[in-house]
Amino acid sequence: MRIRLMSCLAICAMVVSLGFVGADSLAEAAETVKIGAIYPLSGNLARLGEESYRGAELARIERNAQGGVWGKQVEYVVADAPDTNAARSEAERLITRSNMKLLLGTYSSSLAYVATEVAERNRVPFFEFGAISDPITERGFKYTFRTCAPASGFGTIAVRVIAELAAPKMGMTPKDIKLAIVYEDSLYGTTCAKYAKAEAERVGMPVVANEPYSAKTNDLSPVILKLKAANPDAVIHTAYIADAILFSRQAKELDFDVKAYVGQGGGHSMLDWAKAIGDVSGFLNVDFPQFKINKAYTPGLDEFIKLYEDTYKEPPHSGHSLVNYFGAKVMFDAMEKAGSLDADKIREAAISLDVPEGQTCTGWGVKFDPKTGQNVRALPYGLMWTKDQEQVTIYPPEAAVAEIIVPMPTWRERGQ
């Protein structure tokens, strides 16, 4: 009897230590659906990491106000992943210790690459809302679903903006335009650059410089001097926020001008970059949808902007919040359709989603490739910065609200 009593007490103690105690706790657990969320909320990726998380959080707030998923409130269990080691360990922790059956994130391609590998190995579905590198979805993973546009689309659209919009305005053909490609050397930058180079070769646009660098550098003048020596007509640049600001400031100092300059998202989408530079009129960018776009093509966009401003008391910083909001809504729809967090049911439900382009707040549709998990109805947009530090959509035509201005003003013409 003594042994039985001790065993019973030990079991009770274990239950208490694990937190599974009391009817209230059990009821609370039954009332919520918990999802692991991995974002870089500290470190050099934090600015866009936080903006991305805000979008996913807004979708959660909205969904809960509408009754949640399966009549239960959605709760995120948030993990900070400033680097790849943290992304790997936090994914492991969320799955093995916090018992998460579904993960989302992450904004950064390098983080997403390792986090999705952990999730796949554990048969846990992972919805990626913002990381764009193609290798993330080229590994044949069964439970990874990316809702946003891939890097191959960024590189391709960047060249098309130059070839289809800039070249005719300048009385040139794509074969006349000397192109320089410059990029930070992580998975994000190298993938965008790879596809930009491939598209340039396809249209016959000569690449006169192809320059990688570390995003952690504090001096890009050697890279800019190499570009200046190559004398390109156009530059395609992939950067995070700190290196985007550094490049522009040093390009001004070194008097490096081109006819067309195209960023590939990241730092070139941030108002922080524009404020640091000043007059950014004529700078081009290829990225997720921004907010000066044909509203008939992006139903629900105005409602998102209002929700963001009501919640955070300021306008959105970039389209990263918008696409994470969109991605979370897609994930919630898949969950609702699946009826549970069973991995195979989530996969079946996600693959069955079918939304045409032009019917969501991003303008993107929804259709996942069953072999890769990539949303094949998501492509980036061509954008142009104005003197008022706003990005207006110029490509594709059905989403455009402005025409490209080339050649872009020189640094001297900007009076800077």
Closest CA to 345 of 125, 132, 188, 157: 125
Q: Which two tokens stand for residue 253?
A: 């100092």
Quick one: 254 and 386 in the same domain?
yes
Q: What is the pLDDT along the chain (416 residues), one digit of tens a residue?
A: 333 433 443 433 333 333 333 333 333 445 899 999 999 999 989 988 999 999 999 999 999 999 999 999 999 999 999 999 999 999 999 999 999 999 999 999 999 999 999 999 999 999 999 999 999 999 999 999 999 999 899 999 999 999 999 999 999 999 999 999 999 999 889 999 999 999 999 999 999 999 999 999 999 999 999 999 999 999 999 999 999 999 999 999 999 999 999 999 889 988 899 999 999 999 999 999 999 999 999 999 999 999 999 999 999 988 999 999 999 999 999 999 999 999 999 999 999 999 999 999 999 999 999 999 999 999 999 999 999 999 999 999 999 999 999 999 999 999 75
Query: Does residue 43 sit in the same domain as residue 142?
Result: yes
Asked, for residue 293, whether it belongs to a domain, the answer is: no
Angle between helix 84-96 and 109-121 (nearest 10): 30
Q: Are residues 391 and 279 in the same domain?
A: yes
214 and 240 Cβ atoms separated by less than 8 Å: no
- Same domain (yes/no): 312, 261: no
Burial class for 393, CB neighbours closer than 10 Å (0-12, 13-18, 19+): buried
Strand partners, 391: 385
Both tokens of 114, joined, read 């390792």
- Domain containing 111 — which CATH number? 3.40.50.2300
Residue 3 lies in a domain: no
Gap between the Cα atoms of 235 and 182, Å rounded:
7
Residue 167: which domain range? 152-287+381-395
Alpha carbons within 13 angstroms on the beta-carbon side of residue 310 total 9
Q: Which residues of 79-106 are buried (b: 16+ CB within 10 A; e: fewer)?
A: bbbbbbebbbebbebbbeeeebbbbbbb
* Co-location of 144 and 156 in the same domain: no
Residues 25 and 122 grouped into a single domain: yes
13, 142: one domain: yes
DSSP symbol at 161: I
Q: Are strands 126-128 and 144-146 parallel, antiparallel or unpaired?
A: parallel
Spatial CA neighbour of 254 closest among 54, 65, 410, 363? 410
